[in-house]
A and B are shown apart, each in its own frame.
Chain A
Amino acid sequence: MLGEDLYRLLAPKFELPRIQYGSRIHEVHIGNTTPHGTRAYGIILGGVSNLPLFDGRERTPARPHIAMQIHTSPDDIPASVSEALGDLLDNPIKWARFCARECGAEAVQLKFNLPTRTLSDRNLDEFRELARQLAREVDIPLLFSGSDLVETDPQILEAVAFATKGERVLLASARLGNDYSRIAKAAIDNQHVVLASTDCDPPSQKMLNERLLEIGLPPDQIVIDPTTAALGYGLEYSLSIAEQIRLNALKGDRSLQMPIVAFPANSWTAREATIEDSGYGNLYSRGLIWELTTALTMTLAGAELLIMLHPDSVKRFKTFMKEQGFTEPSVTKKNSQD
């Protein structure tokens, strides 16, 4: 055995050299306070130069921002979530206020559902009006998404973009399969941010981002969603793809240097989160853990904005992260520059 002295030499405070990638992720703000917007604050995404917690103690780890999902028609909401929301399901505005005040969500995401898969002029007018009303009634940053339909999403998002001009909302989503240039142009004209969504495929994400940049959408008006699969339904692919995209971005791939958005709300599509089965234990607890596990692991893979659904998982996530040494995410305050 070596002498004690030689061991001592190894003992002083251990640190590794910092990983220097040379690039960082664009800083993207959602929600305008002044001069054109009426939000109480804006959320700040990006600006990072490493994977979360790979920096040692140099950067205090922050929890991601949380945007709670609101639906215009609650058909897709699983029973365990709708029980927790009750009457709020029938009133998107009240639902949004509840998210902001009771659950402490940093933002809300309004999803325009089209149960019949067709969009009438009346639908479009209603959606436009609802977006305006939402902007009047709540003062936190807003996200709007279509119904995941190729034909109608660009039309809806364009209408909403004009109706909320200057508020710097997030429009979701531009996809390779839809008329993404229409969404990008509406975002440019009205100073909004676009969510670029692809299906678990990094080359597609790169292609879509490049096209959005070519159209003239500035990089600080793009955030990306490389798909969040539910736990048990391919979450590991989402985790690997988010890491892969983030590492390529840090190593210099300019078309991928955008903040990542994850959708833990998608966990509610998993059987395990929603079915009553005596062999699976307590349903309420199980559903929440399903959404929370997706939220936490996607955070570690680099997501900075989480779209969540169940009020209790949002509350639990916030408390949990605080207890476990994560700081609050950063925001722009009113009267500061946007």
Chain B
Amino acid sequence: MAFAAAILAGTAKLEDCPYITEEERTRIEELIAAPVMKLTFGTRKPLSIGGARVMHRHELKFYNPTAIAFKATDAQGEEEVEAATKRSLELRVERLGENFGIDAIAIASDSGKAETFSRAAGQIMRITDLPIILCCSRPEILEAGLQACGTEKPLIFAAEKGTLESYIELATDHHAPLTVAHGDLGELRLMAKKASDASLDVALCPVSQSLAEALEKCITIRRAAIAHKIREFGHPIITVPPSLIKVSKTTQESLWHESLLTSALLFRYADAAILENAEIEQMLPIITLRHGVFSDPRVPAKVKPGLYRLGKAGPDSPVLMTVNYALTYYLVSGDIDKAKVDCFLLVAETEGMSVLNALAGGQLRAETVADLVKQINLNAAVNHRKIIIPGLAARLRGEIEELTGWEILVGPAESRDIPLFLNRNAS
């Protein structure tokens, strides 16, 4: 029973059961399969999207973070393709010690010429190992692009009603997954069925005129797959946020529009988004939101324990202590920022528990703090021998003093009072 529950929660694997027969395994696998199929494209650096199991994050968790693709165009010559692609690849966003960038490169056949498209696709293949999305609307151009990609298994974007048959043929020949696109969900369902009947991996693009419409369609598609088990809708959703932008915008305007549209769509079931810009101020919010929305709500968010230097803290700067629950850490470091006093922040390992919970659960004890002080060699970092502990942990004061020989000051119980505390004690 416990094993069955763990299988459902995704924390155990069916292979770990030694007693199961092959037949039983196939049956159970069908039963527990995610209602949204997983699709993998690219071979040198394969990327998987889809695999959703729930409508709401709190019901389990969201799987496979929305892939962010940058779209280059073949219309402005080879140099421009190279420059734009390279620039997008330089983008780096750091979250809690992890690094993120663009997940895929899309190339659009805006030139309308097969040869140009094929050259651009080949060029991108040489620049990066990232998986490729081929954006074009004519079979003869698509064919040229697919040939340039060789065995790379690019994602095709997208078959429309009139090109479906020829796109299915090309996708089959090149073992490439196929996106089907239509504004009408009935038609989209039909197209998806034809493509998956041809044994292709399928993605869906619900064509829309506005964000409200796009969200409604994404929600309907996902509800159809998860709540109503309609298999033709059980495929990843590909979106093109810039296509929703109204009237012509300046570059700065399209940046924030793209950013907002993408954030909304990634929260509501888009498995990939194809963007036209890759600027940091637009991408930082998207990747920050994605990191949060796709985090496991059952696991407390943690930061690495240790000594954090805030601002330009030096040997005379105060040392404050807190725990490694991510929200606590953010709150405290944010409030220290507000105080405009450079500080060291000593972060104790409490398995992602907040101060109160860690005190109650025994993850935060005087020894935890004493060991950390020794381990990171706090003696060497500052000239003084004073640590400010959270007001809620006041009862550990005496014991920490005994164990470390440091003077322990009791800080405020509420993080928001830190600026007041620091500024009062500084003057």
The answer to whether A285 touches B289, judged by C-beta atoms less than 8 angstroms apart, is no
A1 touching B288 in the complex, CB below 8 Å, given contacts A13-B186, A233-B331: no
Residue numbers in A under 8 Å from B187 (CB-CB)? 11
**Is residue A24 within 8 Å, beta carbon to beta carbon, of the partner chain?**
no
A316-B56 in contact (CB<8A): no
Indicate with 1 or 0, residue by residue over A238-274, a CB within 8 angstroms of chain B CB atoms. 0111011001000000000000000000000111100
B304 within 8 A of partner (CB): no
Q: How far is the CA of A285 from the CA of B259 in the complex (A)?
A: 11
Residues of B within 8 A of A286 (CB): 281, 284-285
Q: Are B280 and A14 in contact (CB under 8 A)?
A: no
* C-alpha spacing A285/B257, complex, angstroms: 11
Q: Which has the most chain B C-beta neighbours within 10 Å: A233, A243, A285, A289?
A: A289
Q: Does B342 contact A (CB under 8 A)?
A: no
Contact of B210 among A19, A288, A300, A324 (CB under 8 A): A324
Which residues from B are CB-within-8-Å of A7?
190, 193-194
Q: Is the pair A300, B282 in contact by a Cβ cutoff of 8 Å?
A: no
A285 touches B255 (CB 8 A): yes
Contact A54-B219, Cβ < 8 Å, known A10-B186, A231-B285, A243-B56? yes
A35-43, A181-189, A275-283, A330-338 - the one binding chain B:
A275-283
Interface size counted on chain B using CB atoms at 8 A: 66
Contact B285 A2 (CB under 8 A): no
Residues of A within 8 A of B279 (CB): 281
User: Contact string, B222-235, partner A, CB cutoff 8 A, digits 1/0?
Assistant: 01100010001000
With A233-B331, A247-B56, A324-B211 in contact, is A282–B219 under 8 Å at CB? no
Given contacts A233-B330, A233-B331, A236-B57, A293 and B260 within 8 Å (CB-CB): yes
- Judge whether A325 and B190 touch: CB under 8 Å: no
Known: A240-B57, A243-B58, A323-B210. A282 touches B420 (CB 8 A): no
Q: CB distance A325 to B56 under 8 Å?
A: no
Q: Cβ of A117: which chain B residues have Cβ within 8 Å of it?
A: 417, 420
Q: A292 with B186: in contact, given A233-B327, A236-B293, A285-B252 (CB under 8 Å)?
A: no
Given known contacts A13-B186, A231-B285, A325-B213, is B228 in contact with A296 (CB within 8 Å)?
Answer: no
Q: Does A61 contact B (CB under 8 A)?
A: yes
Q: Is B256 an interface residue (CB 8 A)?
A: yes
Asked whether, in the complex, the Cβ of A269 is within 8 Å of the Cβ of B267, the reply is no
Which residues of chain A are near B297, meaning CB under 8 Å? 236-237, 240
B57 contact set on A, CB distance < 8 A? 236, 239-240, 243
- Point out the residues of chain B lying under 8 angstroms from A12, CB to CB: 186
Query: Are the CB atoms of A236 and B330 closer together than 8 Å?
Result: no
Query: Do residues B259 and A10 form an inter-chain contact, with CB atoms below 8 A?
Result: no
Give which listed residue, B232, B267, B330, contacts A239 with CB less than 8 A: B267
Task: Say yes or no: A325-B267 contact (C-beta < 8 A), given A272-B288, A293-B285.
Answer: no
Q: Determine whether B409 belongs to the interface, using a CB cutoff of 8 Å to chain A.
A: no
**A289 touching B259 in the complex, CB below 8 Å, given contacts A324-B211, A326-B212:** yes
CB contacts (< 8 Å) of A240 on chain B: these are: 56-58, 297
In the bound assembly, the distance between CA atoms of A290 and B252 in angstroms comes to: 15
Q: Which residues of B contact A292 (CB under 8 A)?
A: 256, 260
Q: For B337, list chain A residues within 8 Å (CB).
A: 271, 275
Is the pair A297, B267 in contact by a Cβ cutoff of 8 Å?
yes
- A202: nearest chain-B partner, CB-CB: B58
A11-B186, A244-B56, A297-B289 known; A324 and B212 CB under 8 Å?
A: yes
Whole-angstrom CA separation of A13 from B213 in the bound complex: 16
The docked-state distance in angstroms from the alpha carbon of A231 to that of B186 is: 36
1/0 per residue B148-167: CB within 8 Å of A?
Answer: 00000000000000000000
Q: How many chain-A residues does the 8 Å CB contact rule pick out?
A: 57
Q: In this assembly, does A148 line the interface, its C-beta being within 8 Å of a C-beta of chain B?
A: yes
Q: Which residues of A contact B295 (CB under 8 A)?
A: 236
Q: Is A16 a contact partner of B224 (Cβ separation < 8 A)?
A: yes
Contact B289 A231, beta carbon cutoff 8 Å: yes
Return B107 CB to nearest CB of chain A, in Å.
25
Please pick, from A13, A236, A241, the residue contacting B292 in the complex, using a CB distance under 8 A.
Answer: A236
User: Most chain-B CB neighbours within 10 Å: which of A2, A280, A324?
Assistant: A324
Does B384 belong to the interface (CB within 8 Å)?
no
Choice from A2, A53, A148 contacting B219 with Cβ under 8 Å: A53
B189 and A229 within 8 A (CB): no
Q: Kindly identify which residue among B189, B194, B247, B285 contacts A289, using a CB–CB cutoff of 8 Å.
A: B285
The residue in chain A whose Cβ has the minimal distance to the Cβ of B326 is: A234
Complexed CA–CA distance, A13 and B186 (Å): 5
Residue among B198, B216, B260, B289 with max Cβ neighbours from chain A (10 Å): B260
| Chain A residue at smallest Cβ distance from B212 | A325
B268 within 8 A of A: yes
Q: A12-B186, A233-B330 are in contact. Are A53 and B257 (CB under 8 A)?
A: no
Shortest Cβ distance from B164 into chain A, in angstroms? Answer: 11
- Say yes or no: A229 contacts B288, CB within 8 Å: no
Q: Does A156 contact B (CB under 8 A)?
A: no
Contacts of B101 in A (CB 8 A): none
Q: Write the nearest CB–CB distance from A269 to chain B, whole angstroms.
A: 6
The verdict on A14 contacting B289 (CB below 8 Å), with A293-B263, A324-B244 known, is no
| A323–B213 alpha-carbon span in the complex (Å) | 12
The contact of B281 among A61, A232, A281, by CB within 8 Å, is A281
Task: Determine if B184 is an interface residue (Cβ-Cβ < 8 Å).
Answer: yes
Residue of B nearest to A270 (CB): B334
Residue from B252, B280, B289 in contact with A293 in the complex, judged by beta carbons closer than 8 Å: B289
| Contact, CB under 8 Å: B260 / A289 | yes
Q: Which 7 A-B pairs have the closest CB atoms?
A: A325-B212, A325-B210, A236-B292, A281-B281, A324-B211, A281-B280, A14-B186
29 residue pairs of the A-B complex, CB under 8 angstroms, read: A1-B198, A2-B197, A7-B190, A8-B190, A10-B190, A11-B189, A16-B224, A54-B219, A56-B220, A117-B420, A231-B288, A231-B289, A234-B292, A234-B327, A234-B330, A240-B297, A243-B57, A244-B58, A271-B333, A272-B285, A272-B288, A285-B252, A285-B256, A289-B281, A292-B260, A297-B267, A297-B289, A320-B257, A323-B247
A positions within 8 Å CB-CB of B: 1-2, 7-8, 10-14, 16, 19, 53-54, 56-57, 61, 117, 148, 229, 231-237, 239-241, 243-244, 247, 269-272, 275, 279-282, 285-286, 288-290, 292-293, 296-297, 300, 316, 320, 323-326
